């Protein structure tokens, strides 16, 4: 069994090695956006894996769809990346829409 922790929620769950990060997140009730059903076509499920040696190597889909900068930044597609090691830490980036909304709310509060 592997122990996967999702940040920033600090939610931990244990799963079998070979389970995708997207499936693991569903079991942990942690939302990782995805529309393609795990086919690596929507590219919405990008996550940051703190230690890339804790998951299986890049899939062919990831090699084709992620840039070198993304790969060097430990970004993986949650639908493709599979748990390998005993302790995996995954950071879910804030959605761009949430960032825009938060910025607008902060600007509105400054005006009041």
Q: What is the pLDDT of residues 49-107, one digit of tens each?
A: 999 999 999 999 999 999 999 999 999 999 999 998 889 999 999 876 666 666 777 77
Question: What is the number of structural domains in the chain?
Answer: 1
27: domain range?
A: 2-111
Stretch 11-18: mean pLDDT: 96
Inform me whether the pLDDT recorded for 4 exceeds 90: yes
Note whether 87 and 54 are within 8 A (CB): yes
Q: Give the CATH number for residue 10.
A: 3.10.20.30
**pTM to 2 decimal places:** 0.83
Residue 21: pLDDT band with limits 50, 70, 90 = very high
At residue 94, the pLDDT reads 80
């Amino acid at each position: 069994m592997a122990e996967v922790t999702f940040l920033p929620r600090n939610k931990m769950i244990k799963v079998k090695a070979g389970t995708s990060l997207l499936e693991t997140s569903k079991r942990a009730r942690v939302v990782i956006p995805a529309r393609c059903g795990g086919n690596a076509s929507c590219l919405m499920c990008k996550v940051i894996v703190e230690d890339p040696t804790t998951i299986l190597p890049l899939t062919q889909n990831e090699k084709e769809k992620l840039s070198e900068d993304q790969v060097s930044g430990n970004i993986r597609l949650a639908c493709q990346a599979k748990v390998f090691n005993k302790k995996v830490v995954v950071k879910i980036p804030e959605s761009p829409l949430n960032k825009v909304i938060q910025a607008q709310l902060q600007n509105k509060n400054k005006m009041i």
